[in-house]
Amino acid sequence: MRPLEAYLGLGPETVYLAHNAPRPDRPTVLLVHGLGDSHLAWTEALGPPLGQAANVLALDLAGYGRSSAAQDYSFAAQAERLRKVLEFAEKDLGAPLDRLCLAAHSMGAAPAVLLCAGHQDLVKGLVLVEGSISPHGSFVSAKAREAHGRGEFEAWFEKDFVEDAILNQYLKTFPCCGHYFASLMFCRRPAFLANALELGGLGQREGDQWRHEIGEAYAGLTMPRLYCHGNLSTPEPAKRFLRDRGLAAKALQTDCHFVMKHRPREFYRLLRDFVCQ
């Protein structure tokens, strides 16, 4: 299904939003992509079953996809843009926010959780898809930080990451993730690097334990939450964090980080049921 499109002007910035036709009798879900990605991560969301049951909003974060560059790519700034997108969606598109849920993939968990923590009266539920809530599993951002430390980020991004790791390896295993290669073509390098560096600073070691800023904020939310992940793609320490905190989780049969692409039927039924509960 071809999405409807909107461009939201935020001073010198422009944020792109793909969406279906909002209806006042349906819940609304805002979808947030991960590092280097775009709204293309959520293409299947506009079709059945989710697109028939909910108002679907999928944005490009500043610095990604069709959105413009920005001076500030911090997760706090991205969270504030999410709030303004929701305000725009309600006032200009007619998407009601009385039954609002968020779903965020990977790095997108950081701005999504920050928004939820600051607006628990607004957001009624949150689904994270392999969200970055522990220091474990952020392999790409760790490689980006290492390359940056060597002064080789640009070369690493173009050759080692986009060409070798994604195009020549990952897509041969998971051809359903071609959207990610396309998204990387439009990703602004300063945004990617800034977010990769910030991801690395979220986890702090306390004795023999790790404390993760976003993970702690996620655990402290009072709204319904669900952590969706691949049963073979999530590191055991991340699974242990969920178990130790008693956080609801659902594992789908996959070793692909892009769970919503590799298992779209199961995932979008799951998301529909969560949003419409």
CA–CA dist 155, 165 (Å, integer): 13
pLDDT value of residue 21: 96
pLDDT of 119 > 80? The answer is: yes
10 Å Cβ neighbour count for 200? Answer: 16
Assign 236 a pLDDT band (cuts: 50, 70, 90): confident
Pairing of strands 100-105, 28-32: parallel
- C-alpha–C-alpha distance, residues 105 and 28, integer Å: 17
pLDDT for residue 239 is more than 90: no
- pLDDT of 39-73, one tens digit each? 999 999 999 999 999 999 999 999 999 999 999 99
**Type of residue at 11:** G
Q: CB neighbours of 246 closer than 8 A, spacing ≥ 6?
A: none
pLDDT for 162: 98
| Whole-prediction pTM | 0.96
Work out the burial of residue 253: count CB atoms within 10 Å of its CB; fewer than 13 is exposed, 13-18 middle, 19 or more buried: exposed
Domains of the chain as residue ranges with CATH: 4-275 (3.40.50.1820)
Q: Which of 87, 55, 38, 60 is nearest to 185 (CA)?
A: 38
Give the model's pLDDT for residue 74.
98
Query: What distance in Å separates the CA atoms of residue 137 and residue 241, rounded to the nearest whole number?
Result: 12
| Nearest to 107, CA basis, from 214, 252, 219 | 214
DSSP 133: -
What residue has token string 């992940």? 229
Round the CA-based radius of gyration of the chain to a whole number and report it. 17
Range name among 100-104, 209-213, 238-242 with the lowest pLDDT average: 209-213
pLDDT for position 125: 98
Q: Which residue has the tokens 């009072």?
A: 222
Q: Which residues, listed in sequence order, are joined to residue 14 by a DSSP beta bridge?
A: 9
Is the per-residue pLDDT at 136 higher than 90?
Answer: no
Cα–Cα dist 10/18, whole Å: 17
Q: Which segments of the chain are extended strands (E)?
A: 4-10, 13-19, 28-32, 55-59, 100-105, 123-129, 203-206, 209-212, 225-230, 249-252
> What is the arithmetic mean of pLDDT over 87-94?
97
